[in-house]
Amino acid sequence: MKREIVRLQKIELRNLKNVGYGCVKFATKNSVAADILGLYGQNGSGKTTLVNAIDVLKDLLMGKRLAQDLGNYIKIGESTAGATVEFSVTSSEDDLYKVIYEFVLVGKAVDDEEHIEENNDIDEEEHEKRNGTYLVSEKISMSRLINDKWTKLTPILYYNSDSNEILPKNRYNLLTEGKQELIDELRVLRLLAAKEERSFLFSKEIRKIIRDSKWKDEYKFIFKVLTEYAIYNLHVFSSEDTGMINANIALPFSIVSKEKDRISLLKGCLNLNGVSPIPRKFFRDIQAKMDAISLVLKEIIPGLTINLKKLSTSLNKRGEEIVKAEIIAKRANIEIPLRYESDGVKKLVSILYCLILVFNDSSMTLVVDEFDSGIFEYLLGEILRVVEESGKGQLIFTSHNLRALEVLNNKDIMFTTTNENNRYIRFKNVKANNNFRDVYFHDILLGGQNECIYEATNPYMIARAFRLAGDENAE
């Protein structure tokens, strides 16, 4: 049975962190081929901002509460931030849709430290509330490909908290059917979504109302498929996840199980610094996925396998059986806890299952910040080459290691610039026989692109700063 395929096509960012404006377009339009996007650039130039934006997108589409500190992600000096995200959606009947989701965030951050100091009676809970974020507007639109032509882009649903209206009116009227109880319910849900700092259009309550409404099936389908994509098919591995691994705290994982027409997601962390208590109902599934990871791992790092080893069982206070287990690494019949392996090995174990999904499923998207962290550069290139040549899904990553420039197609690489109002570009005038790595260094030193890609540093001034910093007698 054919499944729906959802792919990211374009992301436009506005006023997020140090990105005034940035547009990332994905190169591959074929929904059955791998689509890789590697983002490179100077430190602090907006690479992680793209990962953060996709993470926010995932939370919104899932109807989850936004991160508590998201208000601080709004660019300094700006009151709002937002993004416009374009998806391609292919139905199980091969109908092709273009779907655009736009959102605008307003922060409630208190940036004036003097104000905070003068108001010491503001307790911690109140301060957290002030650093929250809410959506001032959301809009979802769609177009459909019919006879090789796209229909006019049509707004499906739009909400702006300033006007407090749900538009277009005809779609709103079909939602409420003139029933006062539904009108009142939608009004309450708007207030509740703002208070809880989450999406109004993708809240579970709205999804139920849409499902029971007299809307066209294709509109219902769009809401359903985007939510399922965010839950099951969009996986984000952030720098915070890498930090937990490097500190030997936990190993984050996302497991998608498919049984006939049923899909389920298991997301969490396994303890790296000891034993993990796992409910028996989940243990076998996690163990099976660890075996799948091990199958690939032994080819990436010859001689190394892992398994989730059952140590003991117990009952929790609800009478549920708990399996106490530990991840074990094995080399040449010698077993050691995974925590004693290198950070690179632990990171590979954490993301390998999602990479397996990306390799085999056109609707899977994996986003990895600092993909190269702890991973040998030649191995990094081999993994990327295999996914690009034989994979099916989308892999988006940031990196500082330039090996990818030597193995990936030029169209799969984008770079950050020093222009905060045009943060992301693809290089022009790169020939097929050029060494892309050499071209990158050439353009860092001498220019050659429409935008500056590196804010120049002076080694003599750096050395002087080191001397001054170490001179205790300097004024």
Q: Does any domain span residue 254?
A: no
pLDDT > 90? residue 358: yes
pLDDT > 80? residue 113: no
Rounded Cα distance between 22 and 425, Å, is 9
> Of 364, 426, 392, 387, which Cα lies nearest the Cα of 27?
426
One domain, residues 116 and 156: yes
Q: Does any domain span residue 154?
A: yes
Among 341, 361, 381, residue at a domain's last position: 361
| 8 A C-beta contact, residue 14 and residue 73 | no
Residue 358, token pair as written in the block: 């990306």
Rounded Cα distance between 298 and 302, Å, is 5
Among 340, 361, 382, residue at a domain's last position: 361
Kindly calculate the radius of gyration of the chain based on its CA atoms and give it in whole angstroms. 24
One domain, residues 355 and 390: no
Say how far residue 48 (Cα) sits from the centre of its chain: 10
Rounded Cα distance between 244 and 252, Å, is 8
Write the pLDDT tens digit of every residue in 434-448.
788 888 888 887 788
Write the pLDDT tens digit of every residue in 216-259.
999 999 999 999 999 999 999 988 888 888 888 888 888 777 66
Q: What's the number of CA atoms in the CB half-sphere (13 Å) around residue 7?
A: 28
pLDDT > 70? residue 323: yes
Residue 242, token pair as written in the block: 């890498």
pLDDT > 90? residue 130: no
| 8 A C-beta contact, residue 235 and residue 254 | yes
Q: Does any domain span residue 59?
A: yes
Write the pLDDT tens digit of every residue in 152-173.
999 999 988 877 788 899 988 8
Look at the chain and report how many structural domains it folds into: 2
Query: In this predicted structure, which of 111-115, 193-197, 281-285, 409-413 has the lowest mean pLDDT?
Result: 111-115
The Cα angle at residue 52 between residues 116 and 265, in degrees rounded to 5: 120
DSSP 310-359: EEEEEE-TTS-EEEEEEEEEEETTEEEEGGGS-HHHHHHHHHHHHHHHHH
Query: In this predicted structure, which of 23-32, 34-43, 425-434 has the lowest mean pLDDT?
Result: 23-32
What is residue 115's predicted lDDT score, i.e. its pLDDT?
37
| Residue position matching structure tokens 């298991």 | 266
One domain, residues 102 and 230: yes
Beta strand pairing call for 365-368 and 394-398: parallel
Q: Does any domain span residue 269?
A: yes
One domain, residues 76 and 213: yes
Residue 259, token pair as written in the block: 């049984």
Q: Does any domain span residue 96?
A: yes
Q: Does any domain span residue 202?
A: yes
| Residue position matching structure tokens 């984050």 | 252
One domain, residues 181 and 222: yes
One domain, residues 197 and 306: no
The total of other beta-carbon atoms located within 10 Å of residue 268's CB is 14
Residue 129, token pair as written in the block: 């509330």
Q: Does any domain span residue 104?
A: yes
Residues, the chain: 475
One domain, residues 145 and 272: no
> Of 82, 157, 74, 137, which Cα lies nearest the Cα of 110?
74
The total of other beta-carbon atoms located within 10 Å of residue 58's CB is 18
The total of other beta-carbon atoms located within 10 Å of residue 147's CB is 4
pLDDT range class, residue 119, cuts 50, 70, 90: very low
Mean pLDDT over each residue of the chain, to the nearest integer: 86
Rounded Cα distance between 312 and 292, Å, is 23
What is residue 456's predicted lDDT score, i.e. its pLDDT?
78
What is residue 451's predicted lDDT score, i.e. its pLDDT?
86
Task: To the nearest 10°, report the CA torsion of 225, 227, 228, 230.
Answer: 120
The whole domain housing 330 covers 265-361
Among 361, 391, 415, residue at a domain's last position: 361
Rounded Cα distance between 293 and 284, Å, is 14
Give me the residues paired with residue 263 across strands.
258
What is residue 9's predicted lDDT score, i.e. its pLDDT?
94
Residue 333 to residues 134, 246, 330, 344, Cα–Cα distance (Å): 54, 26, 6, 21
One domain, residues 468 and 374: yes
Judge if pTM exceeds 0.95.
Answer: no
Rounded Cα distance between 252 and 36, Å, is 23
Q: Does any domain span residue 255?
A: no
One domain, residues 269 and 344: yes
What is residue 319's predicted lDDT score, i.e. its pLDDT?
83
One domain, residues 32 and 150: yes
One domain, residues 230 and 357: no
Residue 465, token pair as written in the block: 């700063």
Number of separate helices (H) and strands (E) present in the chain: 14, 20
One domain, residues 233 and 295: no
pLDDT range class, residue 141, cuts 50, 70, 90: very high
Beta strand pairing call for 35-40 and 413-416: parallel
Rounded Cα distance between 207 and 213, Å, is 10
Higher confidence at residue 260 or residue 282? 282
Say how far residue 146 (Cα) sits from the centre of its chain: 31
| 8 A C-beta contact, residue 170 and residue 163 | no
Helix, strand, coil distribution of the chain in percent, nearest 5: 35, 30, 30
